Amino acid sequence: MPPVQIDTAMTLAAGFGKRMLPLTIDRPKPMVALAGDPMIDHVLARLAKAGIERTIVNLHYQADVLERHLAKRQQKPTILFSNERDEILDTGGGIKRALPLIGDQPFILHNSDSVWIEHQTDNLAALLAQYDAEKMDALLLLAPVNTSLGYDGQGDFFIEQQGRLRRRTQDETSPNVFIGVSILHPRLFDDSPDGAFSINLLWDRAMRKGRVYGIPFDGRWMHVGTPGALIEAQKVIQNAG
């Protein structure tokens, strides 16, 4: 079966950015500059390179600032807005609200603070090439914990037989961290809760059915969530240039 042609994404941009204070007093975290451009512009450029024609961006904190910036863009992808000004809906609830804009086909989900330097692999191209809509409700991109910048946790998932994922238990340490980039099928949200909820709820449900997969990331992933991580990411990008 030929691979599914994915041309739609959702970019998560509604969070408060509290860990990035004071830089987020007057702007949402996606508008904080990294290497001269707002972080969300780095994400949108990567999506465009991957052939994404349109992305849905959710809005909550400092929504007007982000909306004005994105409304000025002339480049692909085309921007559609999912309004969460009334209440923030977390990852799962935010995506569910946007489903009428996303449609019924698989889509890329991309956090707006997830940036990276690539090594030999075009990671989004690899993700798209590995996605199998018949057997996958979700395909996640996972980076090595020991080379990731701005992350100090115990990892997230184990990649097991045929690429299926298993979440680590509280007593385990995983070598893999989810970088906030995945391909999801809208059916993942069938019979999901209303209101605010985490996407983890749906991943755990789908993992029990063996329908969540992962592939390894190739490069230097940077979670730019604090002013300190921003400074370090700037250095990495400058040195790579």
- Mind listing the pLDDT tens digit for each residue in 49-60? 999 999 999 999
**pTM of the full predicted structure?**
0.94
Q: Copy the structure tokens of residue 94.
A: 């935010």
What is residue 203's three-state secondary structure? helix
CA distance 218 to 197: 30
Give the model confidence (pLDDT) of 62-82 as tens digits. 999 999 999 998 889 999 999
How far, CA to CA in Å, does 184 sit from each of 131, 196, 238? 9, 18, 33
Tell me the residue length of the chain.
241
Give the model confidence (pLDDT) of 196-223 as tens digits. 999 999 999 999 999 999 999 999 999 8
Domains and CATH numbers, the chain: 8-240 (3.90.550.10)
